[in-house]
Chains A and B, each alone.
Chain A
Amino acid sequence: MNTPKFIGLDNYTRLFDGTDQYFYNSLAVTFKYVILRVPLGLIFSFIVAFLLNMEFIRGKSIFRTIFYLPVIVPAVASSMIWIWLFSPDLGLFNSFLEALNLPTLNWLYSEETVVPSIVLMSLWGMGSTIIIFLAGLQGVPRSLYEAAIVDGAGAMRKFLHITIPMMTPIIFFNLIMGSIGAFQVFTEALIMTQGGPNNASLFYNYYIYREAFLFGEMGHASAIAWILFMIILIVTAIFFRTSKSWVFYESEV
């Protein structure tokens, strides 16, 4: 909190040479979260969107509203609700497991389960991704399906050879946005776990917050934030590189 002094790259060397004991830990925790949450999030929202797009489903707008609703709930409020759902003694999840005679979990309160628990909670709030997928699904030209039916294609083939390729730009968009969002996970750690237990949910952004506002190390926190920026930049760049080989744009044919 004193007047800034120029110290060159000291803040960065402190991170990489291990003087700062939390840097690698928080990177590991964050990557674990991203790796779990991004694919699961994409698959989950795609499935929900696909089901919502089925012709036989009645009252689509109601379901759409239900799935979108969590997005409107402020993150702090939903975190409070989920704290109760995750409660080891009184929580809904553990009552459920107990009713099925399965062993109960400590959810947010054990090092092994805290990140998966937060991933589970984040799936609940995937409304925007679902809506974008849904819009994409509705944009797939009917003529393609009709042509496929004429050619004798079954449901699986239609899905694999029409739906998926036509959806790749949307999947690509959601992949990028989802990864960026996942790297910046923060509120859950702040409200529900404060980085605990034993730093097992010390997400990168929470780590920045802690350095800046609890330890008062503004310069150090800024250095950490720059590294996050670089990480996101590199990850996004990699996705863009690979996109040429799997993303299909109709206009480019």
Chain B
Amino acid sequence: MKKAKRLNALALSAVFTMTVILTACSSNEGSPENQNGIKPPKEGEQVTLKFSFWGDTIEKKTVTEALKRFEQETGIIVEPMHVPSDYLTKLTTMVAGNVAPDLGYLSSGAALSWAEDGKLLNLTPLIESDPDFKKEDYLDQIWYDYAPGKTIGMSTAVEGYGLMYNKDMLLDAGVELPPTEAGKAWDWDTFIEYSKKLTLDDTGKNALDPAFNPDKIKQYGFQYDPYNMMAAVVSNGGNFLTEDGTGFGLTEPEAIEAIQKLADLMYVHHVSPTPLQTKSLPDMALQTKKVAMTVSGNWALQAFAEQDFNLGVGVLPKLKESNTLLDGAPTVIFSSTKHPEEAWLLYKYMADPESVLPLIAGGLWMPLKKSWYTDPELISKWASGNKAHPEGYTESFMKQTLENGIRTPGFEVKNLTKINALVTPALDLVWTGKETAEQALKGVEPKVEPLIQGYYGR
């Protein structure tokens, strides 16, 4: 009896001690004075970094876990700040109030103009003095230079564009599957013909049939957010500004032709939903067979992989040359940080594909390092053998983005946010069929011209 009592007391005190230790641990975890475990990199005070980012739940989880691992490996404490919506509003307020995070995602337009205002750190000195970091290891297109020789860093991830389609629908219609190699890309007429074959009205006639009723379309051959029209523009040899950066590129003949061809998909060939009709399409238009083919950035693969249909990928149809768009908002270090070296350590860590592998293998991101596009062993870690990266992905997205990926205007066009505030309403008129591309863009050109300031970093 006495023995039992003593055992009880022992157990009790053990539990008690454990509780005290555990409580101590958990209360210590969040405090910056945490001295248990890993030694901080510098003598003296504990470094804490604040990292701000956006993203859905999967991205939030992966990024937070990567930050935690960084914390464990280096002893630098990282406070994740996830902002699910109104990101730029929040960041603008924080920067204006001098309480900016140390580093984080930023939209491209704000990033470059804030860099000019000295709100962001020029990373060039850090890169040059870092023996472990070689700029050449990373893709050439992803750097955000705000002046010659001055950079705010890299895009957070690479996003290449390509064709995505429901394989079963193409096989059913007897359409040959879109090529995955740049050299074999469909020309525009082939693309229109196949899109017509895949567009059906309510009686099941396709758009090649003279009796086809364009007012009662129940399946569209091709859907595409027309505001991503730059993919067609660059394929036709145009760009947002003229090469020397002094003129409005969208009013050049190549750009107008490309934009008109996109509008014609809706109003002449009736193979694409108009923006209004798109509003009524479900998010899962490919799975539900409302749409056969779509063009989107790489990130769409993540959602498609979770849906239940036979996903296929191919290179974009070409106008003049086969290429693709490369997109991605930057991650930056704010100049108000008190710990630039530690922030750079974290910056490098997050740029390493290994740190954020779940997002890359899951289809949301493409890696920043060249070796992940060329080394078969690294490629097999993400770009093949999983549902988000179907057969042909390595050719049509990975290789195409690396070799023929053309940066979106966000990487380099100055004053883009304000220019777009004029260009978007003008394009509204084109996509709603009220004006031709030439009328709308030439109409807005006189207003756009005074806002053109050329390219960053040139």
Contacts and interface: CB of A to CB of B under 8 A. Distances in A.
Given A1-B95, A2-B117, A215-B418, A198 B279 contact: no
B425 interface: yes
Nearest to B440: A198
B291 to A, nearest CB: 14
DSSP majority for the B interface? helix
B432 A197 contact: yes
A2 B119 CA distance: 8
Contact of A2 (B93, B118, B428): B118
Nearest to A209: B89
Question: Main SS of the interface on chain A?
Answer: loop
A110 B434 CA distance: 11
Nearest to B280: A89
B428 A88 contact: no
Given A215-B417, A218-B96, A109 B275 contact: yes
Interface in B400-421: 417-418, 421
B209 to A, nearest CB: 23
Contacts of A196: 424-425, 428
Contact of B428 (A22, A90, A197): A197
Interface string B257-292: 000000000000000000111011000000000000
Contacts of A109: 275-276, 279, 432
Contacts of B89: 209, 213
Contacts of B280: 87-90
B124 interface: no
A213 B92 contact: yes
Contacts of A243: none
Contact of A199 (B276, B425, B432): B425
A228 interface: no
A6 B39 CA distance: 48
Interface string A186-210: 0000000000111100000000011
B224 interface: no
B277 A1 contact: no
Contacts of A1: 92, 95-96, 113-114, 117, 119
Residue with the highest number of chain B CB atoms closer than 10 Å, among A2, A215, A216 = A216
B301 to A, nearest CB: 27
B425 A216 contact: no
B300 interface: no
B113 A198 contact: no
Interface of B: 88-89, 92-93, 95-96, 110, 113-114, 117-119, 275-277, 279-280, 417-418, 421-422, 424-426, 428-429, 432, 447
10 contacts: A2-B118, A87-B280, A88-B277, A90-B280, A109-B279, A197-B425, A210-B421, A212-B92, A214-B88, A215-B418
